């Protein structure tokens, strides 16, 4: 059953500006419309103004972690609509896991699948199909963008990480130490890659990107699916960027956005796929981290899964030893790097 919830929209800006600093200049070119992809680069913007204040020195051992009652995670854009995305909504106290579609213009939620214990980022195809991996028997299922035609796609998809070919006819996913491909037209499955991979995503020019364990190291890897060629883009161990938490290519295939969770290098990075140089575009610290990423169809925004942490207070400036985690979804404007929270309550 599809449930539609209308809600009042309230958006707060998460911009930390140091005292006396001028407001950042707007993008020199008009941002893209939602009807036609536009990929012009924005002028470079420094992230020095984006502070990330770590958790205070609490003077006691943190013994427990607790999450807020409702979590919003695993967002992914509708590739045909910059104002719409799918995500997982988890109500902790009620034990509910719903796959939800949200429209930012009409401020509506549509529950696409109930009790969807999603284990990795769902992916929305160009022909309006959403694939998602569940913890129940490691299966991958598919539902249409309007919440009908729920279909079982694959068994034993250990790890999940579904990703669609640009035409929506082929589904790629992790199965143990392999990347498999299911042709939905021919109903056939074959092996694409024989190395342990995760955080799979595919660009519009049919290039697959993933975090790959290979030759006793971990890489950002690229598979040209037209030529079946593998290329290692970056040795993550050598770069001290080990803990990949999300990947998303830009629609034009020029950039790869990566979220990292390493203590010394956490944040979101933008890699130029031509030069293989990368820069940090968002900071993380002990009070803030990022997970799943999804670049908008016009290449101008980045939908992100974010986790904020704070210490539970016991009064008189003391803390209980419990860290509370708040997981929500926000959007980063890739012109200005301004981050905006999406209020889904």
Mean pLDDT of 307-334: 91
For the cut 50, the answer to whether the pLDDT of residue 14 exceeds it is no
**Position 32 in a domain:** no
**Position 94 in a domain:** yes
pLDDT for position 4: 54
Mean pLDDT of 89-99: 93
Q: Residue 40 — very low, low, confident or very high, per pLDDT cuts 50/70/90?
A: low
pTM exceeds 0.75: yes
Q: Residue 49 — very low, low, confident or very high, per pLDDT cuts 50/70/90?
A: low
> pLDDT tens digits for 218-261?
999 999 999 999 999 999 988 878 899 999 999 999 999 999 99
Mean pLDDT of 146-175: 86
**Position 273 in a domain:** yes
Residues shown for the chain = 345
Identify the sign of the CA torsion 128, 200, 84, 337.
Answer: negative
For the cut 60, the answer to whether the pLDDT of residue 89 exceeds it is yes
Domains: count for the chain? 1
For the cut 90, the answer to whether the pLDDT of residue 65 exceeds it is no
Mean pLDDT of 171-181: 91
pLDDT for position 206: 96
pLDDT for position 154: 79
Please provide the average confidence, as pLDDT, over all residues in the chain: 84
**Position 51 in a domain:** no
Q: Which of 35-39, 85-89, 92-96 has the lowest mean pLDDT?
A: 35-39
pLDDT for position 35: 40
**Position 36 in a domain:** no
pLDDT for position 345: 87
The answer for 116, left when phi > 0, alpha when psi is -120 to 50, beta otherwise, is beta
Q: Residue 19 — very low, low, confident or very high, per pLDDT cuts 50/70/90?
A: very low
Q: Residue 305 — very low, low, confident or very high, per pLDDT cuts 50/70/90?
A: very high
CATH of the domain at 258: 2.120.10.30
Question: Which range marks the domain in which residue 142 is found?
Answer: 56-342
């Amino acid at each position: 059953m599809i449930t539609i919830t209308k809600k009042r929209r309230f958006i707060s800006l998460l911009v930390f500006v140091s005292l006396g600093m001028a407001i950042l200049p707007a993008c020199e070119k008009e941002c893209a419309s939602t009807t036609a992809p536009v990929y012009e680069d924005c002028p470079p913007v420094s992230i020095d103004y984006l502070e990330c204040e770590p958790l205070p020195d609490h003077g006691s051992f943190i013994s427990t972690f607790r999450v807020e009652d409702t979590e919003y995670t695993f967002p992914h854009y509708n590739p045909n609509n910059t104002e719409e995305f799918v995500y997982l909504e988890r109500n902790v106290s009620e034990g509910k896991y719903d796959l939800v579609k949200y429209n930012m213009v009409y401020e509506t939620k549509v529950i696409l699948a109930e009790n969807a214990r999603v284990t990795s980022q769902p992916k929305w195809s160009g022909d309006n199909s959403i694939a998602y991996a569940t913890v129940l028997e490691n299966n991958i299922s598919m539902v249409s963008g309007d919440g009908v035609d729920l279909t079982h796609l694959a068994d034993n998809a250990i790890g999940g990480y579904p990703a669609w070919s640009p035409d929506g006819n082929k589904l790629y996913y992790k199965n143990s130490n392999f990347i498999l491909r299911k042709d939905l037209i021919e109903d056939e499955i074959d092996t694409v890659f024989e190395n342990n991979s995760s955080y799979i995503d595919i660009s519009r020019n049919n290039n697959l990107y993933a975090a790959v364990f290979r030759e006793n190291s971990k890489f950002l890897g690229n598979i040209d699916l037209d030529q079946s060629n593998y290329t290692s883009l970056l040795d993550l161990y050598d770069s001290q960027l080990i803990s990949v938490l999300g990947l998303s290519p830009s629609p034009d295939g020029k950039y790869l956005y990566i979220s990292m969770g390493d203590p010394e290098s956490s944040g979101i990075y933008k890699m130029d796929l031509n030069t293989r140089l990368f820069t940090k575009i968002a900071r993380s610290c002990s009070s803030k981290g990022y997970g799943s990423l999804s670049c908008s169809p016009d290449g101008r925004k980045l939908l992100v899964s974010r986790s904020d942490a704070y210490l539970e207070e016991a009064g008189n400036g003391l803390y209980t030893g419990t860290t509370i985690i708040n997981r929500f979804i926000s959007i980063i404007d890739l012109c200005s790097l301004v981050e905006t929270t999406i209020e889904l309550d």
